[in-house]
Chain A
């Protein structure tokens, strides 16, 4: 058994593993109940499965140009996939989500705290009738966001930016 046959069989095993991860994604997408859990299943072939397939293809092609292209593909995939997952996950959390089924909901606690702090701030303003000075906020929309919140607004925006 020479060297090329070993490399070819290794590449074939890699591609089979990648295809099996794709199959796992398909089964998970069909069986899991929720957007977030389906994301968990769908990210398997996006990172590891595609890396397996690209490694197998690189072991089969074995030229410098092709392997370089495959490495570029892997890098781009690893860079762009978390962006999409982040956006979809945030939209899924904000949308119709059964909060009771979540095991851990740190973002929900943070949002709740921010809501309570904002309500307290609002109540204090209403009680004291202390009109907050809108310092210099004249034209842009961004200048009006935090000036009337007093000191509480940076902490309010902090957890909700996640």
Chain B
């Protein structure tokens, strides 16, 4: 019975690892990594039950506690990289302005904003709202 369980778990791990290897996008690999972590946790649980050795239970505890951080980091990274792409930046608004103005606006929207520039303030407000939308 337990040999059957072990064989099923190994087959599941092989399938998930195959998706981890061939996954076309990074998010596929993140999903497969989560599934692989849970398969490994199931394997450790079965091993613990069969052998009656509770030494690996803290390992399962740590995996349950920290296993999600990897995929969260990957997902966050992917979102930020998409955001830095071309879909979000409204370039037509900046047409005809010099590079110094653009640099000032970009700096000003994130750190100290230049005082007394009402027009650029309006632009930055809209820009900030639009950037926040896709986060």
Q: Which residues of A contact B (CB under 8 A)?
A: 11-12, 15-16, 18-20, 22-23, 25-27, 29-30, 35, 38-39, 41-42, 45-46, 49-50, 53-54, 56-57, 60-61, 63, 65-66, 69-70, 72-74, 76-77, 80-81, 83-85, 87-88, 90-92, 94-96, 111, 114, 118, 122, 125, 131-132, 134, 137-139, 141, 144-149, 153, 156-157, 160
List 12 A-B pairs, Cβ < 8 Å. Answer: A19-B9, A22-B8, A45-B35, A49-B38, A61-B48, A61-B52, A69-B61, A91-B82, A95-B25, A95-B78, A131-B122, A157-B133
A42–B34 CB distance below 8 A = yes
- The residue that B42 contacts in the complex, of A45, A138, A149, with Cβ under 8 A, is A45
B130–A118 CB distance below 8 A = yes
B54–A46 CB distance below 8 A = no
B113–A144 CB distance below 8 A = yes
Chain A contacts for B130, CB-based, 8 A: 118
- The residue that A42 contacts in the complex, of B32, B111, B128, with Cβ under 8 A, is B32
A156 to B119, CA, bound (A): 22
Interface residues of B in 51-73 (CB under 8 A from A): 52, 54, 57-58, 60-61, 64-65, 67-68, 71-72
B121–A73 CB distance below 8 A = no
**Is B101 in the interface zone, CB < 8 Å from A?**
no
Chain B contacts for A122, CB-based, 8 A: 126
A122 to B92, CA, bound (A): 14
Query: Chain A: which residue is nearest B87 at the CB level?
Result: A94
Interface of A is mostly: helix
**Is B103 in the interface zone, CB < 8 Å from A?**
no
A116 to B12, CA, bound (A): 46
**Additional A-B contact list (17), CB under 8 Å, known A15-B5, A45-B35, A45-B39:** A19-B8, A26-B35, A29-B31, A38-B19, A38-B31, A57-B48, A60-B49, A72-B61, A73-B57, A87-B71, A87-B79, A94-B134, A95-B25, A118-B129, A122-B126, A131-B119, A141-B111
Chain A contacts for B4, CB-based, 8 A: 16
- The residue that A35 contacts in the complex, of B27, B45, B49, with Cβ under 8 A, is B27
A141 to B127, CA, bound (A): 11
Known: A50-B41, A134-B121. A139 touches B109 (CB 8 A): no
